[in-house]
Structure 1
Amino acid sequence: MGSASSLLTQYDIEEVQENCNYLFSQQEIVALYERFCQLDRNAKGFISADEFLSIPEFSLNPLSQRLLKITDGLNFKDFVAFFVCLQPKSFLPAEDWQVLVHLLNEAGYTRDASLLLDDFIKILSKCNMKMEVEVPVD
């Protein structure tokens, strides 16, 4: 493993796995950590908006300014939690979407409201839904 992954202990990996309900393997967490370290150019322990914008796919996304509101300043654990909330095909059964929309409305969110990452994670946890994301592992 490279120098970045050597800073991640077995305990850290297991803690992150537990935090994300074991949706990522240890190998995927190490790969995410290596990518996190690449983005965290000044080794501050968090990723700034400018660093997120250095990702071409992110900066070209028409929703990038909205996404920056929830991604600016993410530490590694929050970085992984952000990916837990994503799904490669954005597929949820219709009943799960209805529950999610209902919970968002109950929480006071409208179409025009900005959703904070912590709130999004809490709302998803109330739904008992699992979303998947694929992490390429070299």
Structure 2
Amino acid sequence: MLLKKSKIINFFETQVLRLVFPDNKTFPNQKRFRHFSNAVYTDNLQKKTQIKSQLNKQKFGGTTSSSTLRKKRYSRKMGNSNSAPPVEDVDKIKKDTKLPVQKIKTLWYRFNDLDKHKRGFLSREDLSGIPAFALNPLAERIIDLFLPPDGPQNCSFERFCFVLAHFQPTRPETEENDLNSAYHKAKLMFEVFDRDGNGQISMEEVLKTLRQMVGSNINDDQLAQIAKRVVYESVNDESRYSTNEMPSVEMDDFLKTMDLKTVEYKMSVKF
């Protein structure tokens, strides 16, 4: 069994979307989402229904009809005193991320939904409490993108937008230093594997991430073979191999291995 890189990207993208847009109806391009594999994510309709019900209760309290939910969402957006982010924040975020103003406002609504205690930031508790994360084997790694372990443990709206700006569609006019460029999308993927943040992905880090993704459905020997294959496909320089240990994958190796066109397409979302 080999893990195709496009499936890894697709899985990562889908899980980040579950964080931002937990209601399946808000997923753009829904038809092109595919589960990583039966061993990673079980397509259980009952669980999805339960999660959606929990999300509705978490947002609005109790069970409500679709029309009532729409009215409450509209009321929340129009009547909330925090219905729009401060102008100065919008200007800075727009400059740093190149997100359109309307998208910034959309993310502002979601940010406030997640900020249950109305403190103006998101804690690890806020993010890990999302019901959809109960089925997400990479939940902690995704949360780490918003709350780096070695940084402040409160995610500001600016940080929230910074991470999600990577998922803007890559366009012909997109420059390499833009967050939605293929380079920065791949860099975000790299950070998911680079657990200690040292700029390299070790064999142990590949194993830990893959183990989280497949659970106990694959034995240790099979998983080790998959991890070695990942490293072999990434590091083509024979001088970096020794008899004692496998080489670490660096960012340049990762970029050469990834199909950047696939990265651009799979990690692009219209929100």
Match of 1:78 in 2: 159
1:83 Cα deviation from its structure 2 partner:
0.5
In the alignment, is the contact (CA less than 8 A) between 2:94 and 2:100 conserved in 1?
Answer: yes
Structure 2 residue corresponding to 1:32, chosen from 63, 84, 107? 107
Change (3 A) 1:35 1:132: same
Query: Aligned AA for 1:85?
Result: H
Match of 1:120 in 2: none
In the alignment, is the contact (CA less than 8 A) between 1:13 and 1:26 conserved in 2?
Answer: yes
Give the TM-score taking structure 1 as reference length: 0.61
Any gaps of 5 or more consecutive residues in structure 1?
114-122
Match of 1:134 in 2: 270
Q: Which structure is richer in relative contact order (CA contacts within 8 A, separation 6 or more)?
A: 1
What is the distance in 1 between the residues matched to 2:145 and 2:111? 16
Query: Aligned AA for 1:78?
Result: R
Match of 1:62 in 2: 137
Percent identity, aligned pairs only, is 27
Change (3 A) 1:132 1:35: same
Match of 2:120 in 1: 45
1:64 Cα deviation from its structure 2 partner:
0.4
1:87 Cα deviation from its structure 2 partner:
6.1
What is the distance in 1 between the residues matched to 2:134 and 2:145? 14
The root-mean-square deviation of aligned C-alpha atoms, in Å, is 3.7
Query: Aligned AA for 2:89?
Result: D
Match of 2:88 in 1: 11
Any gaps of 5 or more consecutive residues in structure 2?
1-77, 148-153, 170-180, 207-250, 256-263
Match of 1:118 in 2: none
1:31 Cα deviation from its structure 2 partner:
1.2
1:60 Cα deviation from its structure 2 partner:
2.1
